[in-house]
A = this chain, B = another copy of it.
């Protein structure tokens, strides 16, 4: 792939991420092209289908989340991860679980990364051993969606996460 094509591919993804985050998956592909300053044909050359573009965005977002989760460690990594996810979603810089797009395998990698954070937190005794990965993922995606569409301010983010964090910590011993 030529250098300019490489640059355009990235430009399209960046622009599309903004556009779809702002207007939803129903935004037109032409709008993406316009904002990227490219002709519509160029967008379709890189992503032959609108769905391909949406999927590519989702995969890149997930890859970023995986990378971020992988970069964390220690007992409180899981909490940190929750925090940044919500903060980003609230700023619409990320779009998780866009409807109707198949991300399949890409999601598995996130499961693995978050699972690792969960194990570390439980090993350190800061998260209840009863808690399992599926509900952690469910809470992550829920709260991501909520922040995305609800436009929570920093205070609300913190207070909402406080409830979840309180629910994750181990119960006091009798």
Contacts and interface: CB of A to CB of B under 8 A. Distances in A.
Interface in A147-174: 147, 149-150, 152, 156, 159-160, 162-168, 171-172
Nearest to A158: B135
A141 B125 CA distance: 30
A26 interface: yes
A138 interface: yes
- List the number of copies, as a whole number: 4
A135 B132 CA distance: 23
A38 interface: no
Contacts of A171: 166
B163 A134 contact: no
Nearest to A149: B97
A159 B134 contact: yes
Contacts of A160: 135, 138-139, 142
Interface string A27-42: 0000000000000000
